[in-house]
């Protein structure tokens, strides 16, 4: 936050509230009515948050992991311990937790901002489902778009979603249609998922315009 702060510091910040320092101000309610706690409570609430974050690996937990992640993420955002940069910090912490649990990071893209903020407001009201779903979908999409293609060799069979490339018009649906029509070499897994490889997709791209 320091480069941002150097250009445009928070208008209500006192010297003790520089980047990285906890707030010493009350925060007005956010859209939707969520009111962050009084600043003297931040320290003990953060201790509670750390305890909650450290229990996410509990194998006996009854709540689905995406909802647990949604709860911890929302809990941090509700504390709002900084004057500025809380959402960015919260998403970085969410990804740190995911990586420590053995999952890929959750990437929230700019075009998902409205959906993210709506899910956060619902989580503020106790409904963790939308935020949990958003996190789960983000992790899954990241796995298919970045992780699997990076580790898979050219001949390894992977889900079509991992081979999609919107820049060249190869959406997952377009590849699925090509596989069904027999234009793309692919095979179905035991679970019914279409699988192909980088090599087969390159062959399809090379030949698709030369077919009579």
Nearest alpha-carbon partner for 78 in 32, 113, 129, 112 = 32
Which tokens is 206 given? Answer: 């090379």
Sign of CA dihedral 66, 87, 94, 103: positive
User: Phi-psi category of 47—alpha, beta or left, where left has phi over 0 and alpha has psi -120 to 50?
Assistant: alpha
CB 42 within 8 A of CB 23: yes
More confident residue, 149 or 56: 56
Secondary structure in 3-state letters for the chain:
CHHHHHHCCCCCCCHHHCCCCCCCCCCCCCCCCCCCCCHHHHHHHHHHHHHHHCCCCCCCCCCCHHHHHHHHHHHHHHHCCCCCCHHHHHHHHHHHHHHHCCCCCCCCCHHHHHHHHHHHHHHHCCCCHHHHHHHHHHHHHHHHHHHHHHHCCCCCCEEHHHCCEHHHCECHHHHHHHHHCCCCCCEECCCCCEEECHHHHHHHHHHCCCCC
The Cα–Cα gap between 80 and 27 comes to 8
pLDDT tens per residue across span 38-79: 999 999 999 999 999 998 877 777 889 999 999 999 999 999
Q: Is the pLDDT of residue 183 over 80?
A: yes
Could you tell me the fold of the domain covering 2-150? Answer: Fic-like fold (1.10.3290)
The Cα–Cα gap between 202 and 25 comes to 57
pLDDT tens per residue across span 91-144: 999 999 999 998 989 988 888 999 999 999 999 999 999 999 999 999 988 887
* Strand order across the beta sheet in which 187-188 lies: 158-159, 194-196, 187-188
Reported pTM: 0.73
Catalytic residue among 10, 71, 73, 80: 80
**pLDDT score of 212:** 47
**pLDDT score of 209:** 61
The Cα–Cα gap between 136 and 107 comes to 11
Tokens 């409570």 sit at which residue? 41
More confident residue, 6 or 58: 6
Active site residue 57: no
């Amino acid at each position: 936050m320091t480069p941002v702060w150097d250009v445009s510091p928070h208008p209500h910040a006192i010297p003790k509230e520089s980047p990285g320092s906890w707030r010493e101000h009350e925060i007005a309610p956010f859209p939707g009515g969520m009111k962050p706690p009084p600043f003297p409570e931040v320290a003990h609430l953060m201790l509670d948050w750390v305890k909650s974050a450290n229990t996410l690996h509990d194998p006996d937990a009854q709540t689905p992991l995406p909802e647990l992640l949604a709860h911890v993420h929302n809990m941090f955002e509700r504390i709002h311990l900084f004057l500025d940069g809380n959402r960015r910090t919260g998403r970085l912490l969410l990804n740190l937790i995911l990586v420590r649990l053995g999952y890929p990071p959750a990437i929230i893209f700019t075009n998902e901002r409205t959906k993210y903020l709506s899910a956060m407001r619902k989580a503020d009201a106790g409904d963790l489902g939308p935020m949990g779903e958003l996190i789960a979908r983000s992790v899954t999409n990241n796995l298919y778009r970045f992780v699997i293609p990076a580790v898979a060799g050219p001949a390894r069979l992977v889900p079509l979603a991992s081979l999609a490339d919107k820049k060249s018009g190869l959406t997952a649906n377009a590849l699925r249609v090509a596989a069904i029509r027999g234009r793309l070499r692919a095979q179905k897994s035991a679970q019914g998922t279409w699988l192909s490889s980088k090599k087969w997709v390159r062959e399809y791209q090379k030949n698709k315009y030369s077919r009579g």
